[in-house]
Amino acid sequence: MSTTTAPPKKDTYSPLELFGIDRLLGEDERDIAATVRKFVDTRLRPNVEDWFESATLPRELAKEFGDLGVLGMHLQGYGCAGTNAVSYGLACLELEAGDSGFRSFVSVQGSLSMFSIYRYGSEEHKSEWLPRLAAGDAIGCFGLTEPDFGSNPAGMRTRARRDGSDWVLNGTKMWITNGNLADVATVWAQTDDGIAGFLVPTNTPGFAANAIHKKLSLRASVTSELVLDNVRLPASAQLPLAEGLGAPLSCLNEARFGIVFGSLGAARDSLETTIAYTQAREVFDRPLSSYQLTQEKLANMTVELGKGMLLAIHLGRMKDAEGVRPEQISLGKLNNVREALAIARECRTLLGGSGITLEYSPLRHANNLESVLTYEGTSEMHLLSIGKALTGQAAFR
């Protein structure tokens, strides 16, 4: 009869330690998470308050993310690391523990721009763009969403028409992360044969990216409107394997998977920040952490964070094995973003007046998560995706 020795008892634990999360991870996965966390702590966290306040994200971070190895890290070849899905998810978690803007940059670069080329592009597309995007020498963006057709991309008005052997694109895309930084845009457009994808170098005549200002959320992130005014492209610019709406939607599923993990990073950082604050803050001559109502809040938040982490790892293991269905990704995104936002808001209450400053992260995370809640599919659309899976009825049509 064999026995397993329990780890030594400690006086205090971090929230995810209580769930024994590290026991569910391989050594390589833990090493990747630790490497990204160190980069966030040393390079990003010291600057995030200023970047958030000034609504900027330095372009040179692209090269630093490339050197870190997180751009397209879950893809194979072309300078990509070829990690498993869980490792990619953990990297997203650590990046979003710094700020949602960092994870958004990496997610759009790797899971939207690079994945669209990797999955649907020609060998020439892959050879030209993927090594540069993986290294951070080039930046990509993904043009699907339009001003009037966010949750209904099938209604897009951007149009690509044939003119001899060329394509000519006209239309507008909205809420495009990295748009003003990008060297290449994956743009989706209606054609006479249905929806098609095109690689558009951003220096092409007729292409313009207009930065969106006065944001209250995702301020340490570049968000843009893309305008295509008679943008002429050669036939070779079309993604040859992208047929119909299923192509861009499959890219969105890749990005949503990163959010399943990433949102928990914002929640973990909010909770760890708040635990440390309540231990140091005295109220009526006692630490705030010693009060029952405080401990109830901390315990409830820890339970939801841990449950979300177990769900994320489970979905990641499925993705690495037999694959994961879109409605299962919807489950993860719906639950984890919703709970992460609730945790960030609750943490802010324990910080009192201090919680409204950028010195503490929870309200910044909460503001960011308001965007994460609605991009890559609103909560309502994910609820209806789950509802369709349960009933067979498409309630959104």
Q: Active-site residue numbers?
A: 376
DSSP bridge pairs for 167: 162, 233
- Of the candidates 360, 227, 268, the one whose C-alpha atom is nearest the C-alpha of residue 15 is 268
Task: Give the residue, 221 or 3, on which the prediction is more confident.
Answer: 221
In sequence order, what DSSP letters do the residues of 100-168 get, joined into one string? HHHHHHHHIIIIIIIHHHHHHS-HHHHHHHHHHHHHTSS-EEEE---TT-SS-GGG---EEEEETTEEE
Question: Are 109 and 64 spatial neighbours (Cβ–Cβ below 8 Å)?
Answer: no
The reported pLDDT for the residue numbered 121 is 97
User: Roughly how many angstroms between the first and final C-alpha of the chain, as a whole number?
Assistant: 59
pLDDT digits (tens, 9 = 90+) for 151-196: 677 788 999 999 999 999 999 999 999 999 999 999 999 999 999 9
- Spatial neighbors of 62 by CB under 8 A, at least 6 apart, are 71, 105, 109, 136, 137, 139, 181
Indicate if the pLDDT at residue 75 is higher than 60: yes
Structure-token pair, residue 65 = 């993310």
3-state secondary structure of 76: strand
The pairing of beta strand 159-163 with beta strand 166-177: antiparallel
Element (H, E) at 173: strand 166-177
pLDDT band at 267 (very low <50, low <70, confident <90, very high): very high
3-state secondary structure of 172: strand
Query: For 123-134, b where at least 16 C-beta lie within 10 A, e where not — what string?
Result: eebbebbbbbbb
Report how far residue 361's alpha carbon sits from residue 338's, in angstroms, rounded to the nearest whole number: 18
- Spatial neighbors of 219 by CB under 8 A, at least 6 apart, are 51, 52, 53, 55, 101, 367
DSSP bridge pairs for 226: 173, 209
DSSP class of residue 24?
G
pLDDT digits (tens, 9 = 90+) for 270-303: 999 999 999 999 999 999 999 999 999 999 999 9
The reported pLDDT for the residue numbered 168 is 97
Q: What is the mean pLDDT of residues 113-134?
A: 97
DSSP bridge pairs for 194: 191
Report how far residue 323's alpha carbon sits from residue 319's, in angstroms, rounded to the nearest whole number: 4
Query: For 319-349, b where at least 16 C-beta lie within 10 A, e where not — what string?
Result: bbeeebebebbbbbbbbbbbbbbbbbbbbbe
Sign of CA dihedral 186, 367, 325, 66: positive
The reported pLDDT for the residue numbered 151 is 67
Question: Are 331 and 390 spatial neighbours (Cβ–Cβ below 8 Å)?
Answer: no
Structure-token pair, residue 174 = 């909205």
pLDDT digits (tens, 9 = 90+) for 321-365: 988 999 999 999 999 999 999 999 999 999 999 999 999 999 999
Percent of the chain at pLDDT exceeding 90? 89
Q: Whole-number mean pLDDT of the chain?
A: 94
Model's pTM, two decimal places? 0.94
- Spatial neighbors of 220 by CB under 8 A, at least 6 apart, are 48, 51, 52, 55, 56, 57, 99, 101, 102
The reported pLDDT for the residue numbered 322 is 87
pLDDT band at 2 (very low <50, low <70, confident <90, very high): low
Task: Give the residue, 329 or 8, on which the prediction is more confident.
Answer: 329
The pairing of beta strand 76-77 with beta strand 80-81: antiparallel
Report how far residue 387's alpha carbon sits from residue 269's, in angstroms, rounded to the nearest whole number: 32
DSSP class of residue 22?
G
Report how far residue 167's alpha carbon sits from residue 326's, in angstroms, rounded to the nearest whole number: 32
Q: What is the mean pLDDT of residues 36-64?
A: 96
- Of the candidates 90, 179, 72, 220, the one whose C-alpha atom is nearest the C-alpha of residue 135 is 72
Structure-token pair, residue 328 = 């299962």
